[in-house]
Structure 1
Amino acid sequence: MKKYSLLVFDWDGTLVDSKGLLIESLQKTAVYFNYPIPEITTIRKHFGLTIEEMLKNLFPKEDQPELIAKFHNYFSKENIAINLFPGAIEILNYLKQSGFILAIATNATRIKLDASLDMARIKNLFAATCCPEDAAPKPAPEMLLTLIEKLAFMPQDTLMIGDTTVDMQFANNAEVDALAVCYGNHRKDQLAAFNPIDFIGDIRELKNILQ
C-alpha cells in the first residue's frame, strides 16, 4: 500500500460504537413529539450526517430547534460511557508510536467530541481535531482540507478512515484516499461505490495494512 503520513479518523462508527445510543435517542425524540418512530434501517441511511441534517431528514422541519434540543437531552443523559471498539486504543497508540500523525474529522459537535476524548483519555493521541463548528460539515471537504493545512501535509500524504458513505464522499471531495470501515454503520457494498483503496472489518487490521 502507498505510504501515508497523516491518518484522519471519523469518530462515531469508526473509533467508537455509538449507533445503538444514537438510534435509541432518535426514537425517544420521535415518541416525545408524537411522531412515527423511524425504522432502524431508515435511521442508518442517514448516519454520517450532522444531527441537524439527520433530524431534518427524519422529522418535520418546523420543529427543528425543539427536536435538536430534545435529542441532545436524551443523548447526553445516556452517553455516560465511551464504547470504543475493541483494540482501538491499542492500534491508535501503535500508529502514533510508528510515526503516523493522527487526527479526527467528525460531524459530531465540538462539545461532544471533546467530552468523549476526555472521558476515553485519548485526546493526547491526536495532533488535531475538526468539527462542524470549525469548518463546513461532511461531505463538504473543508474539514479535511483544514486539517491537512493545519498539520502541514498534502492531500496525497493523507488517508481518511471512515465507516459511512458520507466519509467516502468527504474524502473524494477533498481528493484524498479513503479506507472504508465495514464494522460501523454502512455496508461494504454501499462503501464500495465510492472507490476506497481498501476495506477493514476490524480496526486492528490497520496494523498490517499500513505497514
Structure 2
Amino acid sequence: MVILLPAIYPELCVSGDAGIILVGGYNIVFLTVLLADCYGRITLERLRLAVFDCDGTLVDSQHSIVHAMEVAFDFHGFDAPNPSAVRRIIGLPLVKAIGILAPESDIADHPEVAETYKSTFRDMRASGDVHEPLFQGVRETISALVEGGWLLGIATGKAMRGLVATLEPYDLLECFVTRQTADIAQGKPHPEMLNRAMADTGTDADLTVMIGDTTYDMEMARNAGTKSVGVTWGYHLPDELDAAGAHIVINEFGALPDALESLTEGKT
C-alpha cells in the first residue's frame, strides 16, 4: 500500500490498490502536490516522527530576537535585558519569558510588553531587518530524513505567522506535516505541542523524537514520553541538555539521521 499522508486530515480514506487518498473538504490535487514535494511515497509501517524546534535548532534567530526584545523593553521603560539572558529564554512562551527577564517588574505589564515585542518583530520583518539564517546542514539532513521515511514536525515558541514567515523563504515549510506553535498550544515544557503532533500524524511516543537546543525542548519530550536529541549549536549548553534528559546530544546536523535511527531501531 502507498500512503501520501498520515491521518492529519479529516475523513481520510485510502485505496490500497491505487494509492488514492480521498479527503473530505480538501482538494486532492493540491494534497498530492503538497506531500510529493517533500515526502514522495511512504510505506505502510509504524510511522516515525521527528519534531524540530525552530529558533536555535533550524535557524539562528538570536540577533533579531535580542534586538526586538531590547526595543520592547525600552518602549515600556524597562532596563535593557542582557543579550545572553534573552538567548536563554528563547523557546519559552513570550509572556513567561518577559517575566524571567524582568523579575522586578509588574506582572500586569508583561502582556503589553509581549505585544510590543511582536509588533516590533513584524515591523523588522516588513523592513527586511530580520535575519534568521539556516544552520549548516539543515537542508541536506531534512532531505535525508524524508528519504528515510521519517515524518517531520515543528514544535516552536513562535506563533504560526512567525513560523511561516521564517521557513517559507527557504521552501521548507511544506516538509513539516504537523506544525505546533505557541498560539495554538501550551508552550514548552508543557507536552501539549508534542501530544498534538503525535495525534496529528498517528505516531506513538516510542517512535517520536524531539530535536532541540534548549532544556525546554528536552523537558517537553520527557513530559510527553518521547525520545529527545539535543543540539549544541543553539542557546543552551550540552551539559544542561544532558541534565534535562536528552537521550543523545549531537554537535552537527549531519549526525541527526544516525542518532534518530539509534533511538528507534527495531521498533517499526
DSSP-derived class of the 1:113 partner: helix
1:86 matches 2:86:
no
Q: Which structure is richer in relative contact order (CA contacts within 8 A, separation 6 or more)?
A: 1
Query: 2:99 pairs with 56, 65, 89, which one?
Result: 56
Aligned residue number for residue 72 of structure 2? 29
Do the aligned residues in 2 keep the contact of 1:82 with 1:119 (CA within 8 Å)?
A: no
CA offsets 1:88-129 (integer angstroms, 9 cap, x no match): 112111111121110111111111112222222111211111
1:186-205 paired onto structure 2 within 5 Å: 186-205=236-255
- Which range moved further: 200-209 or 144-153? 200-209
Do the aligned residues in 2 keep the contact of 1:48 with 1:165 (CA within 8 Å)?
A: no
TM-score by length of 2: 0.73
Aligned residue number for residue 38 of structure 1? 81
Q: Find the aligned partners of 2:188 and 2:249 in 1 and give their Cα distance.
A: 20
Q: Find the aligned partners of 2:198 and 2:260 in 1 and give their Cα distance.
A: 19
Aligned residue number for residue 16 of structure 2? none
Aligned residue number for residue 77 of structure 1? 123
- Which range moved further: 83-92 or 112-121? 112-121
Aligned-residue CA RMSD (Å): 1.9
Identity, in percent, stands at: 30
Distance 1:41 1:4, change over 3 A: farther
Q: Find the aligned partners of 1:93 and 1:133 in 2 and give their Cα distance.
A: 28
**Alignment size in residue pairs:** 209
Query: 1:164 pairs with 214, 217, 233, which one?
Result: 214
Q: Find the aligned partners of 1:124 and 1:83 in 2 and give their Cα distance.
A: 18
The answer for unaligned runs of 5 or more in structure 2 is 1-45, 262-268
1:7 matches 2:50:
yes
Matched to 1:163, the amino acid is D
1:104 matches 2:154:
yes
